[in-house]
Amino acid sequence: MDVRNKASEKVAIKNLYKKEGISRKSIKLKDKYFDMYLYAKVK
């Protein structure tokens, strides 16, 4: 998920997803690159 999207991050945490890391410059929109958080469901 986009690091700027705080609402989605709150939903992921509330649903017991754990942050695994950050992917730098993984999204390209209109010649700009954006970072992305990586979350995973842990049992």
- Report d(CA 7, CA 29) in Å as an integer: 20
Kindly report, residue by residue over 1-43, the tens digit of the pLDDT. Answer: 888 899 999 999 999 999 999 999 988 889 999 999 999 998 7
Contacts of 36 (CB under 8 A, 6+ apart): 1, 2, 3, 22, 23, 26, 27
Is 27 within a domain? yes
Q: Tell me how far CA of residue 34 lies from CA of 1, 23, 26, 30, in angstroms.
A: 10, 9, 6, 11
The structure tokens listed for 10 are 């709150």
Q: How many domains does the chain have?
A: 1
pLDDT value for 20 = 93
Q: Under the phi-then-psi rule, with left for phi > 0, alpha for psi from -120 to 50, and beta for the rest, what region is 7?
A: alpha
Is 1 within a domain? no
Q: Structural domain of residue 27, as residue ranges?
A: 6-41
